[in-house]
Structure 1
């Protein structure tokens, strides 16, 4: 007999609809707050980006002119340079933070005593406000600072492109690698110890256990850590703004937007840059989620 689609009984659909309404009711306050905090500023920025800068007189509607100027017009060089700098910083800092964070997480996982104290010590850099941490590192990177004293050099760290970018990377990695370490440590603690014991009995060495057990079972935590850090690094502003003010190849998209919108009162063009930065971050997040197979809803779509 041919297969006949059987309709879901109304008795089963009713609880499902009730759960949906209940879930929506619980999410509604959060959605309202997100709409006020994110939706309204974004809509305002998009609206401002369609008008000329007030410094040139009364703002007038110019449509997509601000976007074309940034992407392939007169100011395209500055935009794409800032985009390349932002992408370079993101790639380097996320890679280093994942490596350092993994090492710290494995170290804390192996501790038999003092694990809580080690977590507190690791958490301190992340708990320090970014502005405060950057100022402290700025003193350390000065010509007569601690870094030059330890290395025996007299490098002007903010005076050239290479040292300036290195300083930005060092500060960001020092600040946020502990966050990655704690996320990975939480994932490590979910791996059953019996799995490692069975692997040892089978003769698997430390490296084989790490590559065949730890990394595959830690993949969800790594995915979350990388996603969070990529999105955060793409909007990097504090460290280069305080350390170099964007000099010597350290101007990121967020810093360029602030310099133009506030420093030069180019509100319309700056709003276009902020909108483009938002779109870039959104597209990167969407591509990352698609590539890693992450899902917002479960397989049944509930």
Structure 2
């Protein structure tokens, strides 16, 4: 509360509370009108983005959900004639993954999960190392940053073709290790080829976001830590990691969601219908290519729910807040 002292010759001024009371409902009404006007302007500005998202995201999701309840046209067992429309099968496309026909689905599901966990873990470690290197004030830092970021700028299709040439039977990889390995055939080496290619391409993405987090850390923090006798590893664990945690979690979240939808790199590098590297996206595409739109839509919906649950877990459990909350007591 603002008060004035009763000094000789001074004029009594109303307190802040008295000013608010004197303002009355007119001031409160004007503030509400200003707030509603700002909210209306904000809604108007974001409406084009929401419209585009509704067209390219919401509508296809609804259509995929509807198609997942229909089967594949074929002979009608009651009439013996070929159906001219997709039969309604309810949730059979979803329950079918728990039967004998679901073996291929679960293989694709575990491939997707394994490739996501492995690639994101390796990319996080390498990305942090890249960010620390790019952040150091060394000679030729611009060249180092450019060389690190080049793989991320290369299109994924080109990356797949490049690494397919490297992993060829008489390619660079076999020449370096001195063994003849058929990297692009079935087996764990096919998974290894996809992991190596994906880590090479997308680790710079995490490094770039972590670098942005490093650049906002004040140098005085490290100087104070050095004066207190903190070693370099101690500074990394106690200062660097906690302060870059928001940027790191957002980078890992985006990379995880992208890896769960992996399609083009294993499709080009190894090939379609390869049990070792077939992901859920590849399985859905293969079903759609064989005019099995119902199962393809069901697999796409399951993948959508899987990605949504992973994103929710990041935001709720790990604190990867994409929109910072306003602190209590802060004013507009």
TM-score (norm 2): 0.84
Question: How do 1:221-232 residues align onto structure 2 when only pairs under 5 Å count?
Answer: 221-232=247-258
Give the Å deviation of 1:89. Answer: 0.6
The whole-number CA distance in structure 1 between the counterparts of 2:42 and 2:324 is: 13
Equivalent pairs, count: 295
The whole-number CA distance in structure 2 between the counterparts of 1:12 and 1:292 is: 37
1:109 pairs, out of 135, 138, 141, with 135
Greater Cα radius of gyration, structure 1 or 2: 2
* Partner residue, 1:4: none
Say if 1:158 and 1:248, in contact at 8 Å, map to a contact too. Answer: no
Say if 1:55 and 1:266, in contact at 8 Å, map to a contact too. Answer: no
Say if 1:246 and 1:252, in contact at 8 Å, map to a contact too. Answer: no
The SS at the match of 1:142 is coil
The whole-number CA distance in structure 2 between the counterparts of 1:270 and 1:83 is: 14
* Partner residue, 2:291: 265
Say if 2:250 and 2:320, in contact at 8 Å, map to a contact too. Answer: no
1:166 pairs, out of 179, 184, 192, with 192
1:2-30 superposed Cα distances (whole Å, 9 cap, x missing partner): xxxxx993333222222211111111000
Q: Is 1:151 matched up with 2:177?
A: yes
* Partner residue, 2:78: none
2:160 pairs, out of 129, 134, 149, with 134
Q: Is 1:240 matched up with 2:259?
A: no
* Partner residue, 2:14: none
Q: Is 1:277 matched up with 2:303?
A: yes
The whole-number CA distance in structure 1 between the counterparts of 2:287 and 2:187 is: 22
The whole-number CA distance in structure 1 between the counterparts of 2:296 and 2:261 is: 15
Q: Is 1:209 matched up with 2:235?
A: yes
Q: Is 1:48 matched up with 2:67?
A: yes
Give the Å deviation of 1:300. Answer: 6.7
Moved more, 240-249 or 220-229: 240-249
The whole-number CA distance in structure 2 between the counterparts of 1:80 and 1:183 is: 33
Give the Å deviation of 1:113. Answer: 2.6
1:153-200 superposed Cα distances (whole Å, 9 cap, x missing partner): 111112342110000000000010111111111111111111001101
1:256-277 superposed Cα distances (whole Å, 9 cap, x missing partner): 1111111x21011101111111
Give the Å deviation of 1:116. Answer: 2.1
Q: Is 1:17 matched up with 2:36?
A: yes
1:76-131 superposed Cα distances (whole Å, 9 cap, x missing partner): 22212211110111100000000111111101111333222222211111111111
* Partner residue, 2:88: 61
Report the CA distance shift for 1:246/1:207 in structure 2 as closer, same or farther (over 3 A). Answer: farther
| Structure with greater helix share of residues | 1
Unmatched tracts of structure 2, length 5 or more = 1-24, 76-82
* Partner residue, 1:33: 52
Q: Is 1:176 matched up with 2:195?
A: no
Unmatched tracts of structure 1, length 5 or more = 1-6
The whole-number CA distance in structure 2 between the counterparts of 1:115 and 1:55 is: 63
TM-score (norm 1): 0.92
Give the Å deviation of 1:201. Answer: 0.7
